[in-house]
A and B are shown apart, each in its own frame.
Chain A
Amino acid sequence: MSTPMKFLIVDDFSTMRRIVRNLLKEIGHADADEAEDGAIALSKLRNGAFNFVVSDINMPNMNGFELLAQIKQDEKLKHLPVLMVTAEARKEDIVMAAQNGAAGYIVKPFTKATLEEKLANIFKKLGI
């Protein structure tokens, strides 16, 4: 990868944010920030230069679907790939995420290999 990417990890559970952050670091993406819900994430995205969003769905204030919609409606943010990492395992949620522009969907619990594979797929698809 030529330029380092900055990730935003969005999850209301600090344990999960930390796990994802450590995994990203192990995979080679050390530059990451965290947000505990969609509203905080949106504010950070609008005020910072991020390249990738890894987001949970079930969160207070603004959930992952609402965040995804806000990102895709925002001219400055809509190019951002959003990978959903969530415990929501209903098929309709997975389909909704894909139809609303999510770049990928990982269901918890997941492994390092899964995260690595999904990121590689997204990078390849987007030519990053």
Chain B
Amino acid sequence: MNEQQEEAASGNPDMFRQLGTITRQLHDALKELGYTDKLKGTVDQLPDAQSRLSYIARLTGEAAEKVLNHVDEGKAEQAKIAERGRQLADTISRVPGLARAMPELLEWSKDIVSLSEKSDARLTDIMMAQDFHDLTGQVIGRVVQLAGTIEEQLLSLLLQSAPGGQPGQDHAIVDQPALAGPVVNAEGRTDVVSDQAQVDDLLASLGF
């Protein structure tokens, strides 16, 4: 029980008793309506949902790493191509009369350098795009955690439906981490920023 919950409990001594009564009534209603089996089915499916989400996180992570490996190799090759282009331009310029006789040679070698630099910049963009793994991974992590909490709570509900279960034995309430991770939908929210410019403005307004 965290500080807030303890405070709430000490301030409202009847609160947990009432919650227990409501929970018991809910259990009875679930049993009467025959939902216990359905609830059990849901609880059984949650670990599967968690493992599927973890599988997605692992696979996207591996895909991102694979892309980064190719980017590393591509960048090394682009650097060599650009270097060769520079050497070619230099060689053509040093052969007497060649640049004048065949100006296109110099032009082509400069194109090689310029295009390889553009390709390198594209590879940087491809590399940066792999940050999706970090961002989606954090969101998936939160959902897996949430599914775990729901599973625990549903399991507790089922246990309490069984004979001998007592209201108030629910230990499923867990502390939520203070950090929220990426903002999935910032629309209409004033407590979050949606881009770097807003971060800079906020810090500047505070004198940092």
Contacts and interface: CB of A to CB of B under 8 A. Distances in A.
A92 B191 contact: yes
Interface of A: 11, 13-16, 18-19, 22-23, 26, 57-58, 63, 87-95, 98, 105-112, 114
A114 B196 contact: yes
Contact of B131 (A16, A63, A91, A93): A16
Contacts of B71: 22
A44 to B, nearest CB: 21
B181 A98 contact: no
Contact of A58 (B181, B192, B206): B181
Contacts of B194: 89
B199 A107 contact: yes
Given A14-B61, A15-B134, A110-B196, 20 more contacts: A13-B61, A13-B133, A14-B65, A15-B61, A18-B65, A19-B68, A22-B68, A22-B127, A87-B134, A88-B181, A89-B183, A89-B186, A89-B199, A90-B180, A98-B206, A105-B203, A108-B134, A109-B132, A109-B135, A112-B124
A114 B179 CA distance: 24
B182 interface: yes
Contacts of A15: 61, 64-65, 68, 130-131, 133-134
Nearest to A14: B65
Contact of B202 (A18, A94, A111, A112): A94
B68 A18 contact: yes
Contacts, number: 95
Contacts of A22: 68, 71-72, 127
Interface in B101-159: 124, 127-128, 130-135, 137-138
A22 B106 CA distance: 32
26 contacts: A13-B133, A13-B137, A14-B65, A15-B68, A15-B133, A15-B134, A19-B130, A22-B71, A23-B124, A63-B179, A87-B135, A87-B138, A87-B181, A87-B182, A89-B192, A89-B193, A92-B191, A94-B199, A98-B206, A105-B203, A107-B199, A108-B131, A109-B128, A110-B196, A112-B128, A114-B196
